[in-house]
Chain A
């Protein structure tokens, strides 16, 4: 320390209270403690527990003398290191409690101790040999935690005092208090989640209400509401009374279909050596009450052989129903499937009749 740059603070300065010092009570933890008034005669720096700006090896006569040479209130801006540094007790080499001091560390060599580093910043090498990893030579092993009288945690050249049971208990208490406070804050702020969860809760609520109203425990009326199959168009309300077309109605529709097909093509189906095929069969026309069975798109001109293909496919479809009514979706699926089967044999006015289907019973 350059004495020329040292500034002696007035005794009334409040920046540093000479009546207190810092004690290391744990890793990165310092505790301010008041100095005992019993040693006022020797001055603050003569205390064995704290040293500001000088060597801190208490018990060393030279250290004591050096500390007496420097006022604890002298702060130098050009000193090598003015930051607080912990001087840990190393396996009985230090006398007194763990302290923190400002100033330059005393070179270890001057203390009869091995010099560890010489990068302009003297540090004190550990007095005990540092173990090295057998797997990775030169690497420091994992920190060794020693609980006992010395209570030191060592990691390479680093040393830290281990926590006492009392300190651990205090730490646990503080952690529990912090967690409790955090939980209380979360509970207090739970209402912030309401806007985000409201849509999902609303949807789930509707589903639960619907299940309650239409589920197995619901009355018959409620279950009927949820029976969408029975509520298809032809089974709803007044249309539920709709019956299949009568034979007279079908016969009239067929006559109208032949006439409509002939008007649309300018030639009758018989003149085209074709038959008028209802793509949506008249058998199920009542299941589509809003669809005209004789709509032009539903009238196809097919040769007898091709018409037989569609007839057999529809017969298979009917047998597969086993007596029940098909749904509109099933009808549409069958219609589209069968349409694809006979579409290559479609007869069109003015188109050469090259699309003759295979013979009866032959492959499609």
Chain B
């Protein structure tokens, strides 16, 4: 079940868990990221940039910031930090780790994976969502699940395909 990014953003905004950027630099951001990564961007990633998502819950998004006076303020290195792993960063978990969208070519609905900074973002550690839309919903409830002691594998209720991600298992199946 694929959850469109726009639908997920709308749900989260309705719940008050999503904040958007005030300025719309979507076209500039897409062009900039495209130039940095060197290949076409997935549709979900373009949709993600068009939603101008600033943060979901406590998790800030990683989107290049444009300033009319000084240009791009976000270091290019931040955008390409996961290039060696074939991903592009979407969110920061607040502890230095990154959620990255899979950039493997030929995939219609790329999954989102977790990259551990203590392991130098070496490889995807576990699957954070089978799609970008599902991932946004899961991310918004992440802290709440721990605070309210949700049962294990609660993610399956939101994203039944999370265990089918090709590059990494779900978090409960990870090491």
Q: Which residues of A contact B (CB under 8 A)?
A: 244, 246-248, 250-252, 254-259, 268-270, 275-278, 281-283, 304, 307-308, 311, 314-315, 318, 359-361
Contacts and interface: CB of A to CB of B under 8 A. Distances in A.
Interface string B73-109: 0010110000000000000111111000000000000
B147 A259 contact: yes
A315 B120 contact: yes
Given A259-B143, A281-B118, A361-B77, A270 B55 contact: yes
Contact of B95 (A258, A308, A315, A360): A258
Nearest to A275: B96
Contacts of A269: 94
Interface of B: 55, 58-60, 75, 77-78, 92-97, 114, 116-120, 125-126, 142-143, 146-147, 171-172, 174-175
Given A254-B94, A256-B146, A270-B60, A283 B119 contact: yes
Contacts, number: 75
B55 A254 contact: no
Nearest to B119: A283
A268 B58 contact: yes
Given A247-B126, A247-B171, A247-B174, A258 B58 contact: yes
Given A247-B171, A268-B58, A283-B118, A252 B146 contact: yes
Contacts of A277: 95-96
A275 B93 CA distance: 8
Given A268-B94, A308-B96, 15 more contacts: A247-B116, A247-B126, A247-B174, A248-B172, A255-B142, A255-B146, A258-B94, A270-B59, A270-B94, A276-B95, A276-B96, A278-B95, A281-B118, A283-B118, A311-B118
Contacts of A278: 95
B96 A258 contact: no
Given A255-B146, A275-B94, A270 B175 contact: no
A270 B58 contact: yes
B118 A314 contact: yes
A255 B143 contact: yes
Contacts of A257: 95
Contacts of B126: 247
Contacts of A258: 58, 94-95, 143
A361 B75 CA distance: 11
Contacts of B174: 246-248
Most chain B beta carbons < 10 A, residue from A256, A276, A311: A311
Contacts of A304: 78, 92, 96
Contacts of A275: 92, 94-96
A278 B97 CA distance: 12
Contact of A248 (B75, B77, B96, B171): B171
Contacts of A283: 116, 118-119
A359 B118 CA distance: 21
B94 A276 contact: yes
Nearest to B97: A254
Nearest to B152: A248
A361 B78 CA distance: 12
Contacts of A247: 114, 116, 125-126, 171, 174-175
Nearest to A315: B120
Contacts of A256: 146
B95 A359 contact: no
Given A254-B95, A258-B94, A359 B75 contact: yes
Nearest to B93: A254
Q: Which are the 7 A-B pairs with shortest beta-carbon distances?
A: A247-B174, A283-B118, A255-B146, A315-B120, A254-B95, A307-B96, A311-B117
A315 B75 CA distance: 21
A244 B146 CA distance: 20
Contacts of A315: 120
Contacts of B60: 270
Nearest to B57: A270
Nearest to B81: A308
A360 B117 CA distance: 16
Nearest to A277: B96
Nearest to A252: B146
Most chain A beta carbons < 10 A, residue from B94, B116, B143: B94
A255 B119 CA distance: 18
Nearest to B146: A255
A71 to B, nearest CB: 118
A252 to B, nearest CB: 6
B19 to A, nearest CB: 11
Contacts of A251: 114, 142, 171
A128 to B, nearest CB: 103
B175 to A, nearest CB: 6
